[in-house]
Amino acid sequence: EHTATALGEIVQSISKVSDLVGEISASSDEQAQGISQISIGLSQIDEVTQQNTSNAIQSAATSEELAAQAAEMREMMDGFTLYRSNMRSSALPTPTSAPTYSSAPAPVAPVGATNDAWGGGTSQPKISLDDDEFGKF
């Protein structure tokens, strides 16, 4: 009888241990799923970080290109001189005399002919424009 009672207690203990092992197994499965989700989240963060880095590099390259184009445009614009009227700004130079325009077009010299008004045809004509005259063209 004493042995039967001891064996009954052992069976109950084994049942408890089996339940505990089952709970540990379920907890381990939950932890594995959690770790898998964390791993997926970290890989998504890594992907977004790489994409942001790529975008930053692309933005830097675009910025450098725009800066180069702005410098080139600035060099092109340096070739132009714009005279402003005295009312707007006195800091900029103004032409000493305003050009006059007639309604009839001026005759054009044939190619190769000399034109005394243009310095014998050796240089290009220059027309200085005031801001007020800009709209005419």
Compute the distance between CA of residue 128 and CA of residue 84 in angstroms, rounded to an integer.
11
Q: Evaluate if residue 116 carries a pLDDT over 70.
A: no
- Looking at every residue in the chain, the average pLDDT score rounds to 78
- Bridge partners of residue 83, in order along the sequence: 130
pTM over 0.85: no
- Cβ atoms of 95 and 130 within 8 Å: the answer is yes
Compute the distance between CA of residue 36 and CA of residue 98 in angstroms, rounded to an integer.
81
What are the pLDDT digits (tens) for 76-113?
888 887 776 554 444 545 555 555 544 445 555 455 44
What is the mean predicted confidence (pLDDT) over 25-42?
Answer: 97
Name the helix (H) or strand (E) containing 37.
helix 2-77
Compute the distance between CA of residue 1 and CA of residue 51 in angstroms, rounded to an integer.
75
Rg (CA), the chain: 44
What pLDDT, on the 0 to 100 scale, is given for residue 56? Answer: 96
What are the pLDDT digits (tens) for 36-56?
999 999 999 999 999 999 999
What is the mean predicted confidence (pLDDT) over 14-23?
Answer: 96
* Residue 27 binned pLDDT confidence (cut-offs 50, 70, 90): very high
What pLDDT, on the 0 to 100 scale, is given for residue 85? Answer: 55
